[in-house]
């Protein structure tokens, strides 16, 4: 559909930002306070507190006064036990960095479990204060991930909110610098993740990244162009690797895990192709000519002669190589060629796995090869080895998919 979509998206973003402003400077206050003690209903506390706040009141400062007996607890709020108040006091006097982290978490609209999980991750407290976008980068493989814009709107919110309610001083990001390398890296991660998930692209040219960044629904422009990527090459590590590839249009970027996958695949291929294989001599052309699936062969049909010669050559190459790739447009007989290979049980052996990307493709592959019992989807195959998470559709290099926190 055609239309003035950039203007419409800009308007929607303005309205979202307006609603965010209405929510105040601490939309995650309740979730953050819930992290103080197991069982404490921080959300109910924040809800009762909101009715007692005036327009210019800082929710965090008022909360501090309540916990320190300088103000009464709002009517309807959960009880603040002596131990809970002592936890608050200890946190701010003995663990000031974690206290700052708790305050920072309150700036983001997090769920209770998200806030608790990250508050309890003591090893990364200082790292998150230095770069809050780690909350998105490290959490993006979780079943309920923290979104990039959840963090971005908490940091680069309305100017009026920033003036009255600045970020904790321990947070080193300057909200007046929208081109901060940490923000640009997180945006680039999101662009690369979406390109891989939606289009299957695991390597993007800098121009493609810049075009995608210009379309992002951010509260501030994302200045992620060719020069920014060059300047931030070291800042983007370890999440993103930027390289100059002559065959890929120059400067390109790739998520580090796909670089690692490439290394693993290259090593695997190298290990398989190095050992010598005894030559296998089979008259594949005779087998193809006897296959009724190809129909009768008319003498003088040069196109059919060429096609069968090509198929026989492909079978010979596959049979005599430890690893091969068979490529061709739909309907050219790839599956039929593979069926001839698979029917030679002495050649193929018993350790056979036929993998398809989707359930529909699995059924078709099983029918055409006559081996439905050997056919699986790639996801099912990986799941059997503990390397597939159905909730996140993520592949893990380890036997058990793990959260990337810490």
Which of 36, 168, 167, 127 has its CA nearest to residue 138?
Answer: 127
CATH 1.10.10 corresponds to the domain 184-261: yes
| CA–CA gap between residue 113 and residue 133 (Å, rounded) | 18
Q: Whole-model pTM?
A: 0.77
CB 291 within 8 A of CB 312: no
Sequence-ordered list of residues with C-beta below 8 angstroms from that of 387, at least 6 positions apart, any chain: 395, 396, 397, 398, 399, 401
CB 326 within 8 A of CB 337: yes
State the alpha helices, DSSP H only, in 220-353: 226-231, 256-273, 284-290, 302-319, 334-343, 345-348
From residue 210, alpha-carbon distances to 50, 57, 109, 216, 247 in Å are: 41, 40, 28, 10, 19
What are the structural domain ranges in the chain?
Answer: 5-176, 184-261, 277-348, 353-406
Question: Hey, what long-range contacts does 304-312 have (CB within 8 A, 24 or more apart)?
Answer: 307/332, 307/333, 309/285, 311/284, 311/337, 312/284, 312/285, 312/288
Q: Which residue has the tokens 């359930």?
A: 359
Can you give the pLDDT of all 406 residues of the chain as single tens digits?
Answer: 566 666 665 555 554 444 334 357 899 999 999 999 999 999 999 989 988 888 788 999 999 999 999 999 999 999 999 999 999 999 999 999 999 999 999 999 999 999 999 999 999 999 999 999 999 999 998 889 999 999 999 999 888 888 888 999 999 999 999 999 999 999 999 999 999 989 889 999 999 999 999 999 998 999 999 999 999 999 999 999 999 877 656 899 999 999 998 998 888 888 877 766 678 888 888 888 888 777 777 777 888 888 888 888 988 888 888 888 888 888 788 888 888 888 888 888 777 889 988 899 899 888 888 889 989 998 899 888 888 777 776 777 565 433 434 3
Burial 189-225 (b: 16+ CB within 10 A, else e): bbbbeebbeeeeeebbbbebbbebbeebebbbebebb
């Amino acid at each position: 559909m055609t239309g003035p979509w950039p203007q419409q998206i800009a308007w929607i973003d303005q309205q979202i930002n307006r609603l965010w402003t209405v929510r105040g400077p601490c939309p995650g206050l309740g979730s953050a306070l819930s992290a103080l003690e197991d069982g404490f209903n921080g959300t109910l506390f924040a809800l009762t507190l909101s009715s007692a706040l005036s327009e210019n009141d800082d929710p965090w400062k008022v909360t501090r006064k309540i916990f320190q007996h300088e103000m009464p607890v709002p009517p309807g709020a959960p009880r603040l036990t002596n131990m809970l108040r002592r936890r608050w006091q200890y946190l701010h006097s003995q663990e000031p960095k974690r206290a700052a982290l708790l305050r920072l978490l309150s700036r983001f609209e997090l769920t209770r479990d998200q806030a608790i999980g990250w508050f309890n991750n003591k090893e990364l407290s200082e790292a998150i204060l230095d770069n809050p976008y780690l909350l998105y980068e490290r959490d993006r493989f979780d079943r309920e991930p923290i979104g990039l814009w959840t963090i971005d709107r908490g940091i680069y919110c309305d100017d009026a909110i920033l003036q009255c309610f600045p970020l904790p001083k321990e947070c080193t990001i300057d909200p007046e610098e929208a081109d901060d390398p940490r923000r640009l890296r997180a945006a680039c991660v999101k662009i690369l993740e979406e390109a891989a998930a939606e289009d299957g692209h695991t390597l993007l040219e800098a121009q493609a990244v810049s075009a995608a960044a210009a379309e992002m629904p951010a509260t501030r422009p994302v200045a992620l162009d060719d020069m920014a990527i060059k300047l931030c090459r070291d800042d983007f590590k370890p999440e993103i690797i930027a390289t100059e590839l002559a065959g890929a249009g120059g400067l390109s970027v790739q998520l580090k895990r796909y670089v690692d996958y490439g290394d693993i695949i290259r090593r695997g291929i190298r290990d398989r192709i190095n050992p010598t294989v005894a030559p296998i001599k089979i008259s594949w052309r005779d087998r193809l000519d006897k296959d009724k699936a190809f129909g009768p062969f008319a003498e003088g049909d040069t196109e059919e002669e060429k096609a069968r010669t090509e198929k026989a050559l492909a079978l010979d190459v596959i049979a005599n190589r430890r690893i091969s790739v068979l490529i061709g447009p739909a309907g050219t007989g790839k599956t039929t060629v593979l069926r001839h290979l698979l029917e030679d049980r002495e050649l193929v052996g018993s350790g056979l796995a036929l993998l398809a990307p989707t359930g529909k493709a699995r059924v078709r592959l099983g029918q055409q090869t006559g081996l439905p019992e050997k056919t699986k989807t790639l996801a099912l195959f990986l799941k059997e080895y503990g390397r597939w998470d159905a909730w996140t559709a993520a592949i893990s290099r380890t036997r058990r998919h793990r959260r990337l926190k810490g």
